[in-house]
């Protein structure tokens, strides 16, 4: 009797196990298909001149020099703006602020900002930096926009890293007569550095792939020059890819695939570094 | 010494206040031009007109086609990602060895790290032609393939958050279920999922919010035709795509056409803002249930 009753449940269990395993493999294979598809299309286009050529009307002569240069300059400015502000805000919220209504409000607000679609940040940047501040469609307007976009990520990562620093360290520092800031600067921040760094790299990797907000603030899709200063116009690699994807000629599809390979390698490299730092730091620091 | 300490504290506080200013900035920027927009276009027309043609000679300002495009692609993404992501989460949590889980989870998370312009390319150049071999009348630009690809993108959100929620369920519940002679399947669906339901719902809400705001996949692969349709084979335009499309054109500033992106942006912002707040509220409310 009991054996008969059990049996269908066991079959169901077995069946689900097999189906679920297949679905897991299916999800993984989508990633594989995506990578294989893009690499098999674009690899032939990757050569030295692809990196050193300016964009061109002719697909086979087009390169990503200006897109790469624009992207690197943009990231440079984004980081020097977002980093100090993000870390300072994270330190303040975790180490200093008393748990009052205001702190709670700021916390909810940051969680909300992290969920605001990036295209909305584009609208904000367009009105605030491009028009009101008069920066035009410049690198600096793009960098400020992206900085606001990645700020929540840096703040959350900083707070989490600081939270992991054990209180005994702080108390030891206070016991030696150190002030709050001295303790923060010399004890808490160095111990939290690994986590903060991981968050920063992940936020850079996020900024690398952003396209929509930059299109909204008016980043150009065709830039035949390398930006020389923060007030110059610019383009980035994802925008260059977007431009190529939207063209019907097959030559540009190849270019887009090749540009995507470069973009993916940069993204994976950054994520890899972040994972490496996280693992290394967790192994090294044992309290 | 004291004053220096105080000053540092004030500077850091000011930095954290920038996040509040950002939110205020977003709301003000959207609201000011949205109000100006509604001074020229009636709010009734905005929500009832079935055409969205602000850039044509014959102007119509009905947000419904953009909304239907947005909801259609989002629905496809969610219908694809939730069952798949949840099944994977259950498999990783209940069935798979911890070694397999620790290998699969980071690989799945790569899906969330891929720039969306890459997904757009994949949807347009690979998924659409692939689907057309089964669905011959599928248009070159359609809602189905970007919707599915968007689903792929949000799988890791659902899997990761749901897996965390399942993991947070105390082991004693699972053991009690096994003790009653239940199978893993019964334990997963009758004990673990109900127990982790709030976390799972939060993951779904976040995924919906992410899909609503996604831009590049739909901008590349869905076409840019505002169609009031729920047919996934048709091409559609989403709110986000429209914003990008107008920004890239030569629409004069301070014109009515220009203000449409603020009205559209406000609509999108309100949707995601409400969803994010629901998920935040749920997290607050249910997080400590088992602690």
The mean per-residue pLDDT over the stretch B238-244 comes to 95
CA atoms within 13 A on the CB side of B189: 9
Residues 6 or more apart whose CB falls under 8 angstroms from that of A235 comprise: A66, A67, A70, A219, A220, A221, A222, A223
Give CA–CA dist A271/A273, Å, rounded.
5
Tokens representing B107 are: 């690989």
Instruction: Please give the pLDDT value at position B63.
Output: 94
Instruction: Please give the pLDDT value at position B272.
Output: 95
Contacts of B23 in chain A (CB under 8 A): 109, 112-113
Residue B288 predicted with pLDDT over 70 = no
Contacts of B181 in chain A (CB under 8 A): 6
Residues 6 or more apart whose CB falls under 8 angstroms from that of B34 comprise: B259, B262, B263, B266
Contacts of A97 in chain B (CB under 8 A): 13, 16
Contacts of B183 in chain A (CB under 8 A): 9-10, 12-13
Question: Cα distance from A229 to chain B (closest Cα, Å)?
Answer: 23
CB count in 10 Å sphere of residue B201: 17
Instruction: Please give the pLDDT value at position A246.
Output: 86
Question: Cα distance from B235 to chain A (closest Cα, Å)?
Answer: 15
A128 touches chain B (CB under 8 A): yes
Average pLDDT over chain B, rounded to whole?
A: 92
B267: nearest Cα among A117, A148, A278, A77: A117
Tell me the Cα Rg of chain A.
Answer: 24
ipTM of the complex: 0.93
Instruction: Please give the pLDDT value at position A217.
Output: 92
Question: Cα distance from A228 to chain B (closest Cα, Å)?
Answer: 23
Q: What is the DSSP letter of B97?
A: -
Chosen for mutation from B117, B157, B180 (greatest number of chain A CBs closer than 10 Å) is B117
Q: When comparing pLDDT for B272 and B287, which is higher?
A: B272
Give the 3-state secondary structure of residue B61. Answer: strand
A220 touches chain B (CB under 8 A): no
- What is the model's pTM? 0.93
Residue-wise pLDDT for B23-54, tens only, equals 999 999 999 999 999 999 999 999 999 999 88
Do residue A120 and residue B214 have CB atoms under 8 angstroms apart? Answer: no
Question: Cα distance from B50 to chain A (closest Cα, Å)?
Answer: 24
pLDDT band of residue B244 (cuts 50, 70, 90) is: very high
Q: Over A55-77, what HEC string results?
A: CCCCHHHCCCHHHHHHHHHHHHH
Q: What is the DSSP letter of B92?
A: I
Residue of chain B nearest A149, judged by CA positions? B22
Do residue A112 and residue B273 have CB atoms under 8 angstroms apart? Answer: yes
Chosen for mutation from A27, A42, A105, A208 (greatest number of chain B CBs closer than 10 Å) is A27
* For chain B, the helix, strand and coil percentages under 3-state DSSP, each to the nearest 5: 75, 0, 20
B204: nearest Cα among B81, B35, B94, B53: B81
Residue-wise pLDDT for B131-166, tens only, equals 999 999 999 999 999 999 999 999 999 999 999 999
Instruction: Please give the pLDDT value at position A287.
Output: 53
Question: Cα distance from A184 to chain B (closest Cα, Å)?
Answer: 11
In chain A, which residues have pLDDT < 70?
Answer: 1-6, 221-222, 283-287
Among partner residues A106, A117, A205, which is closest to B272 by beta-carbon distance?
A117
Instruction: Please give the pLDDT value at position B290.
Output: 57
Do residue B115 and residue A131 have CB atoms under 8 angstroms apart? Answer: no
Q: Distance between terminal CA atoms of chain A?
A: 57
CB count in 10 Å sphere of residue A19: 12
Q: What is the DSSP letter of A99?
A: S
What distances in angstroms separate CA B228 from CA A173, A189, B41, B50, B97, one per listed residue?
A: 65, 54, 20, 7, 47
Residue B66 predicted with pLDDT over 60 = yes
Give CA–CA dist B218/B226, Å, rounded.
12
A90: nearest Cα among A186, A164, A14, A22: A164
Give CA–CA dist A51/A16, Å, rounded.
49
């Amino acid at each position: 009797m009991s054996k008969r009753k059990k049996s269908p449940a066991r079959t169901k269990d077995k069946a689900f196990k097999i189906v679920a395993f297949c679905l897991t493999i299916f999800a993984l294979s989508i990633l594989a298909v995506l990578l294989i598809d893009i690499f098999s299309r674009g690899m032939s286009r990757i050569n030295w001149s692809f990196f050193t050529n300016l964009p061109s009307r002719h697909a086979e002569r087009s390169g990503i020099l200006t897109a790469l240069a624009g992207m690197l300059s943009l990231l440079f400015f984004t980081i020097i703006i977002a980093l100090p502000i993000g870390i300072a805000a994270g330190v303040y919220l975790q180490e200093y602020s008393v748990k009052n209504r205001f702190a709670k409000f700021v916390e909810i607000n940051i969680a909300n900002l992290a969920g605001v679609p990036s295209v909305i940040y584009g609208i904000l940047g367009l009105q605030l930096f491009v028009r009101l501040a008069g920066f035009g469609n410049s690198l600096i307007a793009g960098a400020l926009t992206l900085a606001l976009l990645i700020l929540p990520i840096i703040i959350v990562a900083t707070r989490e890293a600081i939270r992991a620093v054990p209180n005994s360290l702080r108390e030891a520092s206070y016991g030696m007569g150190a002030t709050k800031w001295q303790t923060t600067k010399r004890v808490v921040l160095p111990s939290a550095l690994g986590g903060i760094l991981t968050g920063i790299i992940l936020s850079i990797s996020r900024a690398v792939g952003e396209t929509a907000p930059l299109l909204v603030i008016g980043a150009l899709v065709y830039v035949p020059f390398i930006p020389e200063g923060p007030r110059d116009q610019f383009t980035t690699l994802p925008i260059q890819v977007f431009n190529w994807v939207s063209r019907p000629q097959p030559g540009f599809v190849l270019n887009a695939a090749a540009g995507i390979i470069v973009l993916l390698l940069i993204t994976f490299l950054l994520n890899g570094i972040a994972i490496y730092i996280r693992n290394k730091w967790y192994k090294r620091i044992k309290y | 010494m004291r004053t220096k300490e105080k000053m540092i504290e004030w500077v850091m506080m000011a930095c954290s206040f920038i996040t509040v200013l950002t939110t205020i900035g977003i709301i003000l920027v959207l609201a000011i031009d949205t109000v100006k927009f509604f001074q020229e276009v009636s709010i009734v027309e905005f929500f009832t007109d079935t055409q969205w043609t602000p850039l044509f000679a014959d102007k119509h300002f009905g947000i419904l086609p953009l909304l239907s495009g947005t909801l259609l692609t989002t629905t496809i993404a969610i219908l694809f990602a939730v069952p798949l992501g949840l099944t994977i989460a259950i498999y990783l949590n209940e069935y798979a060895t911890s070694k397999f889980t620790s290998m699969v989870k980071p690989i799945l998370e790569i899906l969330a790290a891929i720039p969306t312009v890459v997904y757009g390319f994949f949807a347009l150049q690979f998924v659409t032609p692939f689907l057309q071999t089964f669905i011959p009348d599928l248009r070159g630009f359609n809602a189905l393939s970007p919707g599915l690809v968007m689903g792929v993108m949000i799988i890791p959100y659902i899997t990761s958050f749901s897996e965390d929620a399942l993991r947070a369920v105390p082991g004693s519940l699972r053991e009690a279920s096994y003790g009653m002679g239940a199978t893993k399947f019964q334990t997963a669906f009758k004990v673990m999922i109900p127990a982790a339901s709030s976390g799972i719902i939060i993951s779904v809400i976040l995924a919906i919010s992410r899909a609503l705001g996604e831009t590049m996949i739909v901008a590349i692969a869905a076409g840019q035709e505002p169609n009031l349709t729920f047919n996934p084979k048709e091409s559609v335009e989403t709110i986000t795509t429209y914003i990008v499309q107008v920004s890239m054109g030569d629409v004069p500033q301070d014109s009515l056409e220009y203000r449409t992106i603020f009205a559209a942006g406000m609509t999108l912002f309100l949707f995601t803002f409400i969803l994010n707040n629901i998920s935040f509220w749920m997290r607050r409310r249910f997080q400590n249930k088992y602690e």
